[in-house]
Amino acid sequence: MKILSLKLLSFFGVLGALGFLLALFTAQQGCASNCAEYCPATTVYIGSPDNMELNVEFDVNGPACPPRYSVGCEGDENTTACTHTTITGQQPGECDVLVAFNPYSDGRPWQVIHLEFGQPYSAPGKCCQGYPVIGPSAYIIPDFPQGGGVYGISGDGGAKDYDAISTLHDASADAAPSDAGVDAPADAGADAAAGG
């Protein structure tokens, strides 16, 4: 009986050592610990800060953008249908995101967020995947028109950042014919004659 328990103990000892060696040699280098906590953001959040329903649509344009059909407004599927979208870079480069506010219920001018994604981050090891966001990784859309337009959140302090945002003024379809088509030639002619 004593010989059987020594053989059994030796068997489990060898089995444990083999298991340890197998885990040691098959584990991914660089990801064995919590290294993913130190990876840069590769996805940008654009939306309400507090899960409020928004009346917006999103569109994307640029080489680093995900396909257009994959970008939509998402909610929590229980109480909201549209609170935010997320953009994950598909390659290094730029991605412009159009935030189209509903002109009838919201009234804010449309805005474009100019995102940029960098080269893959390789340190520490092969743990970090994707293309890191250059600039803010969160853009807030105030819940109500009185709150203003879109702004980025920079750093740990949460300072508002407007650097990557353009506002499209008078971008409606009827602006070009009525403003440029009629006024521009008349003004140019009168100004030219008066100045000459």
pLDDT of residue 154: 80
Domain edges within the chain: 42-172
Model confidence, pTM: 0.69
pLDDT tens sequence across 132-188: 999 999 999 999 999 999 999 987 677 899 999 999 986 554 444 333 333 333 444
> Who has greater pLDDT, 49 or 185?
49
> Who has greater pLDDT, 194 or 55?
55
Task: Give CA 181 to chain center in angstroms.
Answer: 38
Least confident residue range of 37-41, 57-61, 63-67: 37-41
What is the percent of the chain with per-residue pLDDT over 90, rounded to a whole number?
Answer: 55
CA distances, 94 to each of 56, 64, 104, 117, 177 (Å): 22, 5, 31, 6, 32
For the chain, the first-to-last Cα distance in angstroms comes to 118
pLDDT of residue 128: 84
pLDDT of residue 159: 86
CA 57/CA 44 separation, integer angstroms: 16
Average pLDDT, the chain: 77
CA quadruple 162, 165, 168, 169: dihedral, nearest 10: 10
